[in-house]
């Protein structure tokens, strides 16, 4: 009987992908990015190894939110002090902090473990269409 394939961290080959977030739904974008960061799109996926690729997301300020989420969705932050709760709507987040909005969505879909903290470091989000990773020759990835 043949054993299952388990990849070793020394044999992982990492690629670079660039994704344009223009008019792409935030949830669809986040799930696709999370899968690529984890390596689930590869046939050599191993759950306990960081076998994912690097992902660059451009045009974060043009991401799409369906329905009434621009007004209804609220992002919460707390400083830890009394009265330190800060609430921001999705519209405020998209206008003022578009990169943080995408990073939060992807971080929520990555495991909340040591492995997850390593995986999320391979995500780069930029508000505009320019990025400083041209030397890595990223391949463009389309999201439907």
- CATH of residue 118: 3.90.1180.10
**Which residues, 6+ apart, have CB-to-CB distance to 24 below 8 Å?**
63, 64, 143
Residue 128 lies in a domain: yes
Give yes or no for residue 1 having a pLDDT over 70: no
Residue 108 lies in a domain: yes
Stated as kind and residue range, the H or E segment containing 123 is strand 123-125
Instruction: Please count the structural domains in the chain.
Output: 1
What is the rounded distance in angstroms from the CA atom of residue 63 to the CA atom of residue 139? Answer: 20
Residue 45 lies in a domain: yes
Residue 5 lies in a domain: no
pTM of the model: 0.92
Q: What tens digit of pLDDT does each residue of 53-107 get?
A: 999 999 999 999 999 999 999 999 999 999 999 999 999 999 999 999 999 999 9
Instruction: Give the pLDDT band of residue 33 (cuts 50, 70, 90).
Output: very high
- Domain membership of residue 47 as a residue range: 14-65+99-141
Residue 75 lies in a domain: no
Residue 87 lies in a domain: no
């Amino acid at each position: 009987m043949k054993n299952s394939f388990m990849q070793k961290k020394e044999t992982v080959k990492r690629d670079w992908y660039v994704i344009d977030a223009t008019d792409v739904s935030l949830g669809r974008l986040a799930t696709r990015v999370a899968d690529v960061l984890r390596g689930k799109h590869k046939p050599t996926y191993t759950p306990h190894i960081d076998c994912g690729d690097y992902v660059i997301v451009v045009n974060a300020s043009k991401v799409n939110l369906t329905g009434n989420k621009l007004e209804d969705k609220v992002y919460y932050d707390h400083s830890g002090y009394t009265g330190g709760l800060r609430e921001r709507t999705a519209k405020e987040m998209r206008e003022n902090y578009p990169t943080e909005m995408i990073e939060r969505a992807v971080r929520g879909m990555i495991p909340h473990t040591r492995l997850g903290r390593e995986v999320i470091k391979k995500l780069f989000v930029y508000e505009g269409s320019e990025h400083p990773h041209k030397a890595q020759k990223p391949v463009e990835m389309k999201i439907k």
